[in-house]
């Protein structure tokens, strides 16, 4: 993925998560997102059709990143590495608190399944 695309999507995701801490997700407008992310309205629509699509992508990306971190670095046996791994995992969750708080607040398993696909 192009660096500019990644930067734009990251800015939109960060703006969405910041706004989601202030008001219900269904009250987040494209105008508020683009203003906070400092991108044009047309730029938003180049990447996403709706705010909900952005929200679903954030959920899918966050859960996939967590799954990747969990499976790639998990120790094979429970020894001293386990504590280091668990601390790293907890630091990751804290660093991405806004995204995982949003995921935890999902109102139904069906919504979460729709957002992240078949792997859960």
Q: How many structural domains is the chain composed of? A: 1
Q: Are 118 and 64 in contact (CB under 8 A)?
A: no
Q: Find all residues with CB under 8 Å of 65, minimum gap 6, and list them.
A: 96
| 18-50 confidence digits (pLDDT tens) | 999 899 989 999 999 999 999 999 999 999 999
CATH number at residue 77: 1.10.357.10
Q: Find all residues with CB under 8 Å of 96, minimum gap 6, and list them.
A: 62, 65, 66
pTM (2 d.p.): 0.71
Nearest CA to 30 out of 48, 17, 7 is that of: 48
pLDDT bucket at 80, cuts 50 / 70 / 90: low
| Average pLDDT value over all residues in the chain | 82
- What does the alpha-carbon distance between residue 21 and residue 101 come to, in Å, rounded to a whole number? 9
Q: Are 53 and 110 in contact (CB under 8 A)?
A: no
pLDDT > 80? residue 75:
no
- Per the structure, the complete domain to which residue 13 belongs is given by 3-116
């Amino acid at each position: 993925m192009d660096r500019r695309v990644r930067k734009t999507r990251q800015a939109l995701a960060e703006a969405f998560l910041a706004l989601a801490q202030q008001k219900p997700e269904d009250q987040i407008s494209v105008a508020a997102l683009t203003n906070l992310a400092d991108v044009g309205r047309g730029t938003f629509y180049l990447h996403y059709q709706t705010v909900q699509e952005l929200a679903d992508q954030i959920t899918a990306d966050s859960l996939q990143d967590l799954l990747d971190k969990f499976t790639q670095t998990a120790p094979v046996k429970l020894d001293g590495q386990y504590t280091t791994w668990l601390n790293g995992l907890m630091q990751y969750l804290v660093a991405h608190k806004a995204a995982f708080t949003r995921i935890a607040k999902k109102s139904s398993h069906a919504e979460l399944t729709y957002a992240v696909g078949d792997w859960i």
